[in-house]
Structure 1
Amino acid sequence: MSLLVVLLAMVLLLLFFPWDVLRGPINSYVSGQLGRRFEITRHLSVSLGRTTTVRAEGLEFANPAWAREPYLVKATAAEFDIRLWPLLRGKVDLPRISLIEPQIGLQMEPDGRRTWALSRDTADSAAVPNIGSLTVDRGTLKYQASGQGADMTAQFSIAAEAGTPSGSSVTLPLGYKVTGKWKNEAFTASGRTGGVLQLSKDLKESFPLEINAVAGKTTLKAKGSIENLQELTGLDATFDLQGRNLEELYKLAGIVLPSTPPYKLRGKLDKHGKVWAASQIQGVLGSSDLSGNLNFDTSGEVALLTGEVRSKLLDFEDLRPVIGLPVSPPAMAASVPGKSAATAARLKKPDQANASRKVLPTATLDLVRLKAMNADVTYSAADIRHVEQLPLDRGSVHVKLVNGVLQLDPIALGVAGGSLAGRIRVDVNVEPAAFETRLDLRAVQLNRLFPTIQTTKSSLGKISGQVNLTGRGNSAAGMLGSASGDVAVLMGKGELSNILLEFMGLDGGEIIKFLVRGDRNVKLLCSAAAFEVKQGLMSSKVIVLDTTDTVLNGSGQISLANETLDITLHPQPKDHSILSFRSPLRIAGTFASPSAGPDKLALAGRAGLTLALGVINPLLALAATFETGPGQDADCRRALALAVDPKAKAQPATTPAAGPARPAVKPPMGLPRARPSDQLAG
């Protein structure tokens, strides 16, 4: 009986113990252990148990001396649960915290120090308490982390009447507003959430969340639920995301994406563990649509982006920033009534001031970004529009980025009824970056290849080609300017616009005839061009175009480094024509402003002869322009073989009858064999 009385007395003592008398000793003990002021200013009560509940009226817990804000927590009232057994091992485990009118100051330094580490060593991650759930009423939280470029102030308040999101039975009593900076960009956010915030990974109960956030020029709206606010796990929400450039998401979220025009995207966002999943993506980039699914896995040493993205319609103007080309100025649209900015830009004629501008993309690779993330993403476009210089109609690419090595493999593009396929590899682990490329052009239709040149509309024939290049550089222009390898283009039987050939050969009589009677086509026997490339200089090995009307043999160089042309074509007619000033045709100038015309020295000699004869007799002057047609058929088999295999040695051209036929040269993979039966059959 006496034992029961003692036990009852102990229980009553614990239940009604005047804990306030211990406030002073507790304040001194905690302050001494942590090296900063801790004080319960008005009243203390405790409910003992395996999980003990502590209630304090008036709580002031100072920050370390190095912190900007004076208090870690200063609250009108606070109540928290604490587990005693972990506390005996030096671990602070707080399953629940409830604060009324708190002022919270959180700060983290690049060296690992954080104000909420409950130890004298504020860089000790083991001293960070484990907090389960948090309830806040009418409070302010300030968060500063210079390493994250963060300096934000959040205000919380419980709504007088809790709202309920559409389709949900869960109320959103807690409203919040955030202002400041994130990643050194102006940042604002507002929204609502559940009254109890789950912070521990051990708690699996989700709570509702709404957010409207703006960081720099990027806007995010999301609505859904989340299980763990501290690690953002168990997230299940819909989102609307828009901004001026997807590239800016690298700075804000660490996701490496290409430069794009302004975008608007929506979809479903989930996060389980370390994996973010954006699914059911729908939206636009510029004038192009976009859909697909993406996953961002941060569990590894290097984050990994995977997924598949598609476009039904891709506007090539929207692709310009991706490949490093300048974007057409929007103001240009105003100068062409009824036209878009992109169309107006295409209508603007180049002037002399632009003749020296660079055409190849000069945008440099961001080597740091390409090492910051790995990727395995496929992209496809069912229809590509507004490409005048190169008529693309569809395309797909598989992008792989592994430890600083970017591979576009395979690349597949539909070009003028044919295809362009191959691979590109860029290694940014060396400086400057090293690139390799292999591209195969197949069955491209001549009459669709140059949509802006009317004289090719009636031409027929299929073109094939191959590009093999390696080089070093941190931009497309730099890589091509240092490239070495070979380039070959060939075409078998077909038809060419005669008026185009006559312009090229400067045949005045033929031009007049066709302008009066209309154009007609000339049979093409073969055409080929092969270049050897060394340090950005393309030197011709063979250039030949053979028709029933004219043979054109050429030679020259193209500088990818200087973006200049110097090609000379020598026409040899096979027909008889009057008013002909046949002279070599020189193609020169820059990529931005190419020019084509007769060799002035050769033409001047013939013009001088014409004038001299005209003095004697006007009829003799006319006779000087008469062409008897000395041209012979080119050796197409040999020319095509050399174009297929650019490493073959160039030989003097002969007629097909001059000796036995050579064995066909086996072409590199992806190009047809150079045999008359298939090459010249078109």
Structure 2
Amino acid sequence: MQAKGTYNNQPVTGTMIAGTLLPLRNTAQRYPLDLSLANGATHVSLIGTVQDPLSFKGANVLLTLAGDNMADLYPLTGIPMPATPKYRVTGRLAYAHQSIEFTNFHGLVGNSDLSGTIAEKPGAILTNGTSKPTVRMNLMSRRVDLVDLGGFIGTKAGGEHEAGATAAQRAKIAASEARSPNLLPDKPFNLPKLNAANIYLHYKADSIEGKSMPLDDLAVTMDIVNGTIHLHPISFGVGTGRIIGTIALTPVSNKLIHAVANVSFANVNVSKLMAATHMFRGAGLLQGKATLNATGNSIASWAGNGNGGLVLYMTGGNLSALLVSLSGLEFGNALIAALGLPEQTDIRCFVGDFALDRGIFDTRTLLLDTGTAVVRGEGTVNLKNERIDYRIQSKPKHFSIGSLPAPIDITSTMKKPSIGPAKKPLVERGIAVAVLGVIAAPLALLPTIQLGVKDPHACQDLVTEAETQDRDDKPGQSVRPVAHAAPVRKVAARPPAPHGNLTTSALNRQELKKVQHQRP
């Protein structure tokens, strides 16, 4: 038998070689079957025998699926699949327990191996003539490149091995992405396909590989029932620790999804995170929790209108550079030098406490207490337009002369941040030095004196609050009055830094007064 035509707006061709017609009803004799089908870039082949061909029972058939994108399988199978790079999988096809079963299959999706079992039970025919099948998947990978799973999270899947793309096409895609001002994925989710089947998935990846990838393994349990997605949980291994999330995505209209997410960070290895930069080293275990409650149709829209919070904390450890270097920001070395941090320093503690309010990511506390200095951060990140307005400042712990560490401003966009010393405080202190030099040379030394930070309790209190927020699932929310944790100023108005408009004598008196009382 041969077939030719159009299906799903794609050309379709098929060839089948099978037994004669008379033995179709003879279940005592196995019926041979050899089918090849091509629909666009998707290729399907069935080779084997069937005991009862009219009911497809007693099948001993080898099924091979191959194509440029697993999403193209939806018209053929009725199972909604995410976009993927090129794939090829082979396994056994059978009909049992009123389900079509694809068992013991194995193959490749992009650069990742994939194996497991898929069972599809057809649903009852509805009044509109459609049906909703129930699909159960038990899948695993020995090695997975997360770029191959980009379609699952709303980003472009496949990277350099994108479906059928030539070198010129890949270059064009890369140029287009480079021109985009946005960093967060804004690809909308396809809601009708989410409601096409009820899906129950268990997936495990023993090893995660990829450029600058700090994750070790992945395990996820996911249900899609009547269009609502539940991940309970999704879990990544990071060294000896894990990042674990429970996420619910509920459609509220044809275009919008309500997202509720809770993510915990348990003993996450800083050494693993720092190694991903290929530049810096560090040690310590990171703890914390994040929450999100938002409505939208993409990751970018959820971030742009969401509410929630993030708290991260760590006691003890070692860091060879400022943690901000993890984000791949430019001028990282200049930033570290401007803050006066050494190449290698012990960490007494780190606390990051942030609130998300309708897309504005605001700092409640950012404190890094090292062996030589205390680093504080303040400001906001507007996730609606991806604009950054942030300031970081370092204060030495010990008396020093000749150091002029200015605040560091991080501005512009998330995709292309601008980092550099805050010019205004630096210029004003420079003028003070010049004026004093004219009046009396010895007095010109006063603005360059760093008197040091003395506050042994601030970090302990902040870590205690962070632990409480973590335990109570309320990151970004104050759980009790905490000494030494007063809110810092907002950066948006850009007032002068503390010494910026003081006279020399007032500056000196203020610095001397703070010797015993100044907070880090």
Deviation at 1:305, TM superposition (A): 0.9
Q: For 2:144, which of 314, 317, 328 is the aligned residue?
A: 314
Paired residues of 1:506 and 1:583 also in contact (CA < 8 A):
no
- Residue in 2 that maps onto 1:462: 285
Q: For the residues of structure 1 that align with 2:311 and 2:218, how far apart are their CA atoms?
A: 22
1:433 Cα offset (Å):
0.9
Say whether residues 1:588 and 2:418 are aligned partners.
Answer: no
RMSD: 3.3
Matched, 1:326 2:152: no
Residue aligning to 1:226: 50
Counterparts of 2:265 and 2:201, CA distance in 1: 24
Please report how far the alpha carbon of residue 616 of structure 1 lies from its aligned counterpart in structure 2 after TM superposition: 6.9
Of the candidates 132, 157, 162, which is equivalent to residue 302 of structure 1?
132
Could you tell me how far 1:434 is from its partner in structure 2? 0.7
What's the CA shift for 1:316? Answer: 2.0
Distance 2:191 2:445 in 1: 66
Could you tell which deviates more after superposition, 185-194 or 633-642? 633-642
Distance 1:536 1:272 in 2: 50
1:7-42 per-residue CA deviation (whole Å, 9 max, x = no partner) reads: xxxxxxxxxxxxxxxxxxxxxxxxxxxxxxxxxxxx
Deviation of 1:606 (Å): 2.0
Residue 424 of structure 1, CA deviation: 0.8
Aligned with residue 639 of structure 1, among 454, 459, 462: 462
Once the two structures are superposed, residues 385-414 of structure 1 have per-residue CA deviations (whole angstroms, 9 ceiling, x without a partner) of 1142x5111011011111111111111101
- Residue 484 (structure 2) pairs with residue 653 (structure 1): yes
Give the whole-Å Cα distance in 2 for the aligned partners of 1:290 and 1:572: 51
- Give the aligned partner of residue 517 of structure 2: none
Cα distance in 2, alignment partners of residues 428 and 496 from structure 1: 43
1:154-186 Cα distance to aligned partner (Å, 9 max, x none): xxxxxxxxxxxxxxxxxxxxxx22111223321
What residue in structure 2 maps to residue 95 of structure 1?
none
1:263 corresponds to which of 81, 84, 87 = 87
Cα offset for 1:637?
A: 2.5
The residue correspondences of 1:242-391 to structure 2 (distance < 5 A) are 242-272=66-96, 274-300=98-124, 301-327=131-157, 328-329=159-160, 354=178, 357-388=181-212, 391=214
Q: 2:427 maps to what in 1? A: 604
SS state of the match for residue 195, structure 1?
coil
Percent of paired sites with the same residue: 26
Q: 1:26 aligns to what?
A: none
State the shift of 1:613 in Å: 4.8
Cα distance between partner residues in 2 of 1:218 and 1:193: 22
Distance in 2 between residues matched to 1:650 and 1:562, nearest whole Å: 33
Task: Give the structure 2 partner of residue 184 of structure 1.
Answer: 9
Q: In terms of Rg, which structure is larger?
A: 1
Paired with 1:296 and 1:330, the residues of 2 have a C-alpha distance of 30
> In 2, Cα distance between the equivalents of 1:257 and 1:356?
27
Query: Over residues 652-680 of structure 1, what are the superposed CA-to-partner deviations in whole Å (9 max), with x where a residue is unaligned?
Result: 5179xxxxxxxxxxxxxxxxxxxxxxxxx
Letter in 2 for 1:381: A
1:415 counterpart (238, 255, 260): 238
Contact 2:287/2:312 (8 A) holds in 1: yes
Q: Is the 8 A contact 1:370 1:428 kept in 2?
A: no
Report the alpha carbon displacement of residue 636 of structure 1 after superposing the two structures with TM.
Answer: 1.5
SS in 1 for 2:302: helix
Pick from 193, 204, 214 the counterpart of residue 38 of structure 2. 214
Cα gap change, 1:650/1:450 in structure 2, threshold over 3 Å: closer, same or farther? farther
TM-score (norm 1): 0.61
Deviations 1:612-637 (A, max 9, x none): 45667888767753423245445122
Q: Distance in 2 between matches of 1:597 and 1:634?
A: 31
Structure 1 residues 291-300 or 611-620, which shifts more?
Answer: 611-620
Q: Against the structure 1 CA distance between its residues 251 and 630, is the aligned structure 2 distance closer, same or farther, given a 3 Å change threshold?
A: same
Q: Do the aligned partners of 2:322 and 2:336 also contact (CA within 8 Å) in 1?
A: no
Q: Which of structures 1 and 2 has the larger relative contact order (alpha carbons within 8 angstroms, sep 6+)?
A: 2
Corresponding residue for residue 544 of structure 1: 367
Q: Runs of 5+ in structure 1 lacking a partner?
A: 1-175, 336-340, 656-682
Q: Go from structure 1 to structure 2 and tell me whether the alpha carbon gap of 1:356 and 1:588 turns closer, same or farther (over 3 Å shift).
A: farther
Is contact 1:240-1:265 (8 Å) kept? yes
Measured after TM superposition, the shift of residue 308 of structure 1 is 0.8
Taking a change above 3 Å as real, the CA distance of residues 454 and 290 of structure 1, as seen in their structure-2 partners, is closer
Structure 1 range deviating more: 254-263 or 499-508: 499-508
Identify the residue that residue 143 of structure 1 maps to in structure 2: none
| Aligned residue type for 2:299 | A
1:197, 1:229 within 8 Å by CA — same for their partners in 2?
no
Aligned equivalent of 1:398: 221
CA distance in 2, matches of 1:263, 1:383: 19
Q: How does 1:522-537 map to 2 (within 5 A)?
A: 522-537=345-360
CA contact (8 A) 1:550 1:631 kept: no
Q: Which amino acid aligns with 2:5?
A: G
Whole-Å separation in 2 of the counterparts to 1:505 and 1:283: 46
Which string of whole-angstrom CA distances, capped at 9 and with x for unpartnered residues, describes residues 275-330 of structure 1?
11001111000111111111011144520110211000001221223322235356
Following the alignment from structure 1 to structure 2, what is the Cα–Cα distance between the partners of residues 356 and 641? 41
Bigger Cα displacement from structure 2, 527-536 vs 611-620: 611-620
Q: Residues 455 and 497 of structure 1 are in contact (CA less than 8 Å); yes or no, is this contact kept in structure 2? A: no
- The structure-2 alpha-carbon separation of the partners of 1:577 and 1:557, relative to structure 1 and needing over 3 Å to count, comes to same
The amino acid that maps onto 1:406 is I
Q: Is the contact made by 2:292 and 2:307 (CA closer than 8 Å) also made in structure 1?
A: yes
| Separation (CA, whole Å) in 2 of partners of 1:269 and 1:542 | 57
Instruction: Name the counterpart of 2:127.
Output: none
Contact 1:542 1:650 in 2 (8 A): no
Structure 2 unaligned blocks of 5 or more: 125-130, 325-332, 470-475, 487-520
Query: Are the equivalent residues in 2 in contact too, given 1:267–1:282 (CA < 8 A)?
Result: yes
Say yes or no: does 1:575 pair with 2:404. no
Amino acid at match of 1:653: H
Q: How many positions carry a matched residue from both structures?
A: 458
Residue 372 of structure 1 aligns to a residue in which SS? coil
- Check if 1:195 corresponds to 2:26: no
CA contact (8 A) 1:356 1:593 kept: no
2:247 alignment partner in structure 1: 424
Q: Alpha-carbon deviation of 1:231?
A: 6.0
User: 1:434–1:396: structure 2 CA closer, same or farther, 3 Å change rule?
Assistant: same
Cα distance in 1, alignment partners of residues 34 and 443 from structure 2? 92
Any idea what the Cα deviations from partners look like across 1:412-432, whole Å, max 9, x if unmatched?
101244210121111125451
Amino acid of the structure 1 residue aligned with 2:100: W
TM-superposed CA distance for 1:442, in Å, is 1.2
2 CA distance for matches of 1:257 and 1:608? 64
- Deviation string 1:103-162 (CA, Å, 9 cap, x unpaired) is xxxxxxxxxxxxxxxxxxxxxxxxxxxxxxxxxxxxxxxxxxxxxxxxxxxxxxxxxxxx
Distance in 2 separating the partners of 1:423 and 1:612? 60
Secondary structure of 1:326's partner? coil
Q: Counterpart in 2 of 1:157?
A: none
Q: 2:306 corresponds to which letter in structure 1?
A: A
The one-letter code matched in structure 1 to 2:39 is A
Residue 473 of structure 1: aligned partner? 296
